[in-house]
Structure 1
Amino acid sequence: MSDVQEQTAAPRKRLFIALMGFTCVVLVLLIFLAWWIPSRGLANIHPDLPRIVGLVVLALSGVAILGTVLLVLTTALGKDIFFTRFMRLVVIKFLLPMIEFVGRVLGLDKDRIRQSFIAMNNSLVISQKYKVRPDRILILLPHCIQLFDCEIKVTGDVNKCVLCGRCDIKGLVEIGRKYGIDISVATGGTLARKVIVEKRPKLVLAVACERDLTSGIKDCYPLPVIGVLNLRPHGPCFNTIVDTAAIDAALQQVLELPK
C-alpha cells in the first residue's frame, strides 16, 4: 500500500484501545508489586497494615480497570456514559504519554499511535453531543494546504482566495461560507494558539499532521478539538491536501443549525 493510500485510510481507534488495555494491565501489575514487595515487612510495623495497603492497591487497580472499560464503551457506543470530559483529561494528559512510551518499547510507529489517539479523541468529543453555533466554531488550517507557488497568500485572511480550485482552500472556503464558520490559516503552533485566544471559539476543527494535531489537542484542553489529518502526497509540509467531505461530515455532528 502506498503512503498516500495509507494516509487516506480513516484512522482507527483499535490500536490506541489495545495499547491502553496493555498499559492498564502493566499499571495494575506495577501497583500490585508496589504493595507486595514492601508488604513482606509491613506486618512488622502493624499486623493490619498489609491488609489496609492491600485494600488501597485494590481500589487503585479497580479505578484503572473501570476507567479503561468506560473509555472503551464510550468510544464504541459513541455515547457520553460517565465523566467523558474528565476521561478526555486522563487520556490526553496521562495515558497518551504512557502509551507513546509503551509503543516505543514495542517498536510501534509513533504516527500510527497518534492517528489512533486522534480518532479516539474525536469519538470522545462527539460522544458529548456538542451543538455549537456556527459563529462559535473555528476551522484551523495549516499553511501547507495552499499551493506553495500560489501568489495570493491566505494566511491571516482566507477570504483572499480567488477560488481557482487548484488546491483545497477553495472547497474549505465554500464550507465556511455555507455554514458561516470562521476559518483561519496558521503557519505554526504559536500562531494557532494566538488565533484561538483571540477568537475564543467553543469548538475547534483542526487540520494538520499527526504530530501537530496531537500537540494541539493537548495544548487546547479543555477546549474540544476535532482533528482531521491532512494527506501528504508530496511529503510533509508541502502542497498537502485534505478530504473536504470529512470536514463537512464532522461539522454536521456538532453544528447547531437554524430550525
Structure 2
Amino acid sequence: MQIPYELLGKIFIFVAFAALLVLLIALLLGLYSFKNHKILFPNFVLFILYLFYGPSKWICRVFGIKDTLVDEILVEVRNAVMLDQFREIKNGRVVFLPQCLRHPNCKARCDPLIGYECKLCGLCDIGTICKAANERGFEVYVIPGGSFVKKIIKAHRPESCIGVACYPELAESMQGASPFMVVQGVSLLQDGCYNTRVDVDEVIRKMEECDDV
C-alpha cells in the first residue's frame, strides 16, 4: 500500500496552521486580559499557553516582544482565576519567599525541612514580610529551591500560598502547586541570584485580600 505522503503533508500543514492560530488567539486574549485587568476565557488561555509554552515564547521573540510576557500572562491570569478561592481560605496559609531576598550578611540558619529561619534582624525585607504574615495568620518559608516547596507541601499540607519569584519561576511553580492548593503570585522587582527585591506592599496586600471577606 502506497503511503499518501502528499496528503499527509497537507494534513500536517493544516494542523500546524490551526495550532498556530489557536496559540495566537490565546496570546491575544491573555495580552488583553493582562493589560486591561479583565480576564477573558482564562482556562483556555492557561491551557493553550502551558501546552505551547516554548512556541509562545518563540512567537513573542519573532515579533520583538519580550518572551517573559508569556510568563506574566500565565501568572496574572491564574491570580485572577484563583483570587476568590484564595480570599475564602482562613487556615493553612503560607508565603514562599526565595532565599535570594536575604541580605548578604544574613546569619539565618537553613533548616533541612523548612528552609531559612528568619531572625528578624531588619537587614532585609524578609523580616517585614514575616511580621506582617504573623499578624495575618500566614506562615513564611524562605526556601533555597523548589524541592523545599515539595517537602513543605507534603509535611504541612497548606491550603493556600503566596509565592514570590521571578515571572518564569512563578509560572512554573504555580502550575505545579495549583493542584494541591490555591495559589497567588507576586513577581520580584529585581531578580537574580542574590540581592533581589520585591514589592513588600504588594505581598502584604495579597495577605490582606483574605481580610476583606
Task: Assess same fold via TM > 0.5.
Answer: yes
Deviations 1:198-249 (A, max 9, x none): 22222221011223212212222334322111233xx612122221110111
Q: Does 1:146 align with 2:102?
A: yes
Q: Is the 8 A contact 1:133 1:256 kept in 2?
A: no
Q: 1:164 maps to which residue?
A: 121
Secondary structure in 1 matching 2:163: strand
Deviations 1:60-108 (A, max 9, x none): 99998997897678765657x87x5x44651453253431231233343
Matched ranges for 1:61-140 at <5 A: 76=36, 78=38, 84=42, 86-87=43-44, 89-91=46-48, 93-126=50-83, 128=84, 130-140=86-96
Q: Does 1:248 align with 2:200?
A: no
Q: 1:226 maps to which residue?
A: 184
> What is the root-mean-square deviation of aligned Cα atoms in Å?
3.7
Q: Does 1:181 align with 2:138?
A: yes
Q: Give the stretch that moved more between structures: 189-198 or 140-149.
A: 189-198
Q: Give the stretch that moved more between structures: 65-74 or 174-183.
A: 65-74
Deviations 1:161-204 (A, max 9, x none): 33232101111111111111111111111122222232222222
* Number of matched pairs: 198
**Structure 2, unaligned runs of 5 or more:** 1-9
Percent of aligned positions that are identical: 21
Task: Tell me how far apart the structure 2 counterparts of residues 89 and 116 of structure 1 sit (CA, whole Å).
Answer: 9
Deviations 1:91-145 (A, max 9, x none): 453253431231233343333442343233323332x454333422221011111
Secondary structure in 2 matching 1:206: strand
Cα deviation for residue 146 of structure 1 reads: 1.3
Amino acid at match of 2:194: F
Q: Is the 8 A contact 2:26 2:49 kept in 1?
A: no
Secondary structure in 1 matching 2:121: coil
Secondary structure in 2 matching 1:135: coil
Task: Tell me how far apart the structure 2 counterparts of residues 108 and 229 of structure 1 sit (CA, whole Å).
Answer: 19
Q: TM-score, normalised by structure 2?
A: 0.71
Write 1 or 2 for the structure with the bigger share of helix: 1
Task: Tell me how far apart the structure 2 counterparts of residues 220 and 167 of structure 1 sit (CA, whole Å).
Answer: 27
Q: Is the 8 A contact 2:95 2:139 kept in 1?
A: yes
Task: Tell me how far apart the structure 2 counterparts of residues 92 and 77 of structure 1 sit (CA, whole Å).
Answer: 18
Write 1 or 2 for the structure with the bigger share of strand: 2
**Structure 1, unaligned runs of 5 or more:** 1-29, 36-56
Q: 1:34 maps to which residue?
A: 14
Secondary structure in 2 matching 1:230: strand
Task: Tell me how far apart the structure 1 counterparts of residues 78 and 89 of structure 2 sit (CA, whole Å).
Answer: 21
Task: Tell me how far apart the structure 1 counterparts of residues 27 and 49 of structure 2 sit (CA, whole Å).
Answer: 14
Amino acid at match of 1:123: A
Q: 2:4 maps to which residue?
A: none
Amino acid at match of 2:197: I
Question: Closer, same or farther in 2 for the Cα pair 1:154/1:257, shift >3 Å?
Answer: farther
Larger Rg: 1
Task: Tell me how far apart the structure 2 counterparts of residues 114 and 241 of structure 1 sit (CA, whole Å).
Answer: 18
Matched ranges for 1:209-220 at <5 A: 209-220=166-177
